[in-house]
Copies of this chain bind each other. A is one copy, B any other.
Amino acid sequence: MDELAVDTVADPTLDDPVVIEGLPGVGHVGSLAADHLLEELDEQTTLVRRIYSHAFPPQVSVEGGVASLTCTEVHAISPDDARDMLVFTGDHQAQHAEGHYVLADAYLDVAEEFGVSEVFALGGVPTGELIEEYAVVGAVTDESMIEPLEDAGVEFREDEPAGGIVGISGLLLGLGARRGIDATCLMGETSGYLVDPKSARAVLDVLETVLGFDVDYDSLDERADELEDVIGKIQEMEAQGGMDLPSDDDLRYIG
């Protein structure tokens, strides 16, 4: 296998599609959101590409005894009443800086093959505390893109995210801009400690407004409720003094 290998699984014609990137990251917000889209719209969904790379961990996942090499999967979704989408998901981001650059360019190459001129990178922005109101913070490649997104409920803040955007979502904006592609990063606020379906829901609400698709959120809300129960029990135990607040490390594995 070359350092980078893009396998074509199908090659449907898409109508002015947008890219949705939902690789793993803070609170798994982006991957929860993208996976939810794929599940809810699975009848309009086709797997079109698998992208393999030496920058991924040297690893197979195993399901029911059958091994699959780590890759990024690209699905095309053609909803009946909304814009076509090209959704990038997978279990891993690149393992090193150079790999992020190479993969971001590979993703954009695939996007351009399908005629994409607009990219939405989904992710989470950590706040360090449990969230009551799930705001969605935005970053864009051009100032003119801000106003319509604000109308859809996205917040743009002077100095956030403070450390910039690291990883594939950041590079889709940085390298997208160099190609003249309009790219937006939608970051759901999340504690940073938990897998966060509520934050994913907030991001999807924005995306739904922008792109016009229509999906059911029951399964995502259910998952959020289950998580609430877990958090509630933890807080109760803490209130009774029977347990210290879980450390960040503990929380990281809840959900």
Contact = CB atoms under 8 A, between A and B. Distances in A.
Interface string A11-28: 000000000000000000
A168 B140 CA distance: 31
A143 B65 contact: yes
Most B CB within 10 A of own CB, among A5, A161, A171: A171
Contacts of A139: 60, 62, 65-67
Interface in A41-60: 52, 54-60
A178 B145 CA distance: 42
Contacts of A171: 58-60, 69
Interface stretch (A80-88, A97-105, A110-118, A216-224): A97-105
Nearest to A164: B61
A56 B102 CA distance: 13
A70 B164 CA distance: 10
A174 interface: yes
A66 B140 contact: yes
Interface residues of A, number: 57
Nearest to A103: B58
A174 B173 CA distance: 31
A60 B174 contact: yes
A166 B65 contact: no
Contacts of A143: 64-66
Interface of A: 1, 3, 5, 52, 54-70, 94-95, 97-98, 100-102, 104-105, 138-143, 146, 156-161, 164-168, 170-171, 173-175, 177-178, 183, 185
Given A3-B101, A69-B177, 13 more contacts: A1-B105, A1-B178, A58-B168, A59-B164, A59-B167, A60-B170, A60-B174, A61-B164, A65-B138, A65-B139, A66-B139, A66-B140, A68-B174
